[in-house]
Amino acid sequence: MELFVFIAAAAMVLAGAFGVILRPNPVHAALSLVLTLFGIAVLFVAQEAHFLAVVQVIVYAGAIVVLFLFVIMLLGVDRTDDLRVEPFRVQRPVAIVMGVAIVGLVSAAVLSGAGDPSQTITGEQSVGGTLTSSEPNINTLARSLFSDYVFAFEVTSILLVVAVLATVVLARRPFKVEPRAEEESSDESEHEVPSR
Amino acid sequence: MMLADVVPTPTWYLLLAAVLFAVGAVGLLIRRNPLVMFMCIELMLNAVNLSFVALSVGLDDINGQTAVFFVLVVAAAEVVVGLGIIVAILRRKPGANADDISMLRG
């Protein structure tokens, strides 16, 4: 049963990922991204990370993709890109070679401990908390987050406030800059201003 | 062994994450629309999140999932700032692609 869930979710993830990079229309790419994000959420549920699956759906599919679609429609850039033109000639073959190399190297690194399946993932376990306890996943996660990582958690609140302020400053229409000639104009224009 | 009895191990999730990361990296390099390039960055971030959770389950350790939580927060902030920059650029140069954005060149 878990095998079928994994295969279906992996097919969703990869179909969405290829849709993002191959669809010429940015709106279709954003909707393919939703497919990938939901597939990832299903894989989180399959690995018993229920809280992260919910956050994935709310934050990514609910906020980030909506923000993408909002920007696409605000700017009116939803016209189709012509993917056949290749502005930089050798880039596409080199990029594909690089992608194949990433898959090959990471697979080699992951499978280098093959033979003994328990040795596939190596590393030391920290003392932060184990998943095998009978309590729900969210309790363990919350205890880790609010004890070991509470300072980092507080810093993320500063990060979010700074990000919101930066976006407001960036996206605001700039003030009308008066041309220089008007600032240096004669006294007549200065007297006209209060009379309005 | 019955096919239905095969349980996906964390190794399978790591291999899927590797493929997803590679697809995102290739897309970042071959696309020219800044918004689609941004979506490819999101694909790579999700691949890393998937491998964090797989390693967390494989090592029986909650800290991997805590890292995913922080990656989500930073990704949200990054998308907000990045889309603000893209809006500011595309307002000045409508229809600009990544090759046209050379305003910072000295």
Minimal Cα distance from A10: which residue of B? B16
Alpha-carbon distance values, A163 to A44, A168, B33, B39, B88 (Å)? 27, 9, 23, 19, 15
Read off φ and ψ for residue A140, nearest 5 degrees. Answer: -60, -45
> ipTM, 2 decimals?
0.89
* Among A75, A123, A141, beta carbon nearest to B62: A141
pLDDT, position A190: 45
pLDDT single digits (tens) A11-24:
999 999 999 999 88
Q: Which residue of A has its CA nearest to B86?
A: A71
* Dist. CA B77–CA A160, nearest whole Å: 6
Query: Residue A189 above 60 pLDDT?
Result: no
CB-based contact A36:A12 (threshold 8 Å): yes
Name which of A20, A116, A124 to mutate to probe chain B: the one with the most chain B Cβ atoms within 10 A of its Cβ.
Answer: A20
Nearest Cα residue to B42 out of B71, B7, B66, B6: B71
Round to whole Å and give the CA distance between A32 and A21.
9
Task: State residue A101 phi and psi, 5-degree precision.
Answer: -65, -40
Select the residue from A50, A110, A116 to test the B interface by mutation, using most B Cβ atoms within 10 A: A110
The pTM for the full model equals 0.84
Q: What is the dihedral of CA A105, A107, A112, A115, to 10 degrees?
A: -160
CB atoms within 10 A of CB A89: 8
pLDDT at residue number A90 = 84
Q: Assess whether pLDDT exceeds 60 at residue A133.
A: yes
Name the more confident of A43 and B103: A43
Is A144 in Cβ contact with B63 (below 8 Å)? Answer: yes
Closest CB to B6 among A3, A48, A156: A3
